[in-house]
Amino acid sequence: MSTIRTWAFRSRLGRVWLASTEEGLCAISLGARADERVIRRIASLARFHVARDPEALAPAVRQLEEYFAGRRNALDVALDLRGTSAFQRRIWDIVRGIEFGRLRSYKWVAEAYGGAEYARAVGSALRTNPFPIVVPCHRVINDDLTLGGFAGGSRWKERLIALESGQMALGFPEEVRE
Give residue-wise pLDDT tens across range 96-144: 999 999 999 999 999 999 999 999 999 999 998 999 999 999 999 998 8
Distance in angstroms between the alpha carbons of the first and the last residue of the chain: 35
Q: Is 80 exposed, middle or buried (0-12, 13-18, 19+ CB in 10 A)?
A: buried
CB 25 within 8 A of CB 84: no
**Phi, psi (5° rounding) for residue 6?**
-125, 155
Active centre residues (catalytic): 137
Cα distances from 84 to residues 92, 97, 100, 120, in angstroms, run: 11, 19, 25, 17
pLDDT at position 49 is 77
Reading the chain (178 residues) residue by residue, the pLDDT tens digits are: 688 898 989 998 888 999 999 999 999 989 866 566 566 666 666 677 778 889 999 999 999 999 999 899 989 999 999 889 999 999 999 999 999 999 999 999 999 999 999 999 999 999 989 999 999 999 999 988 888 888 778 889 999 999 999 875 444 433 333 3
CB neighbour list of residue 102: distance below 8 Å, 6 or more residues apart = 139
Domains (ranges, CATH) in the chain? 2-68 (3.30.160.70), 86-165 (1.10.10.10)
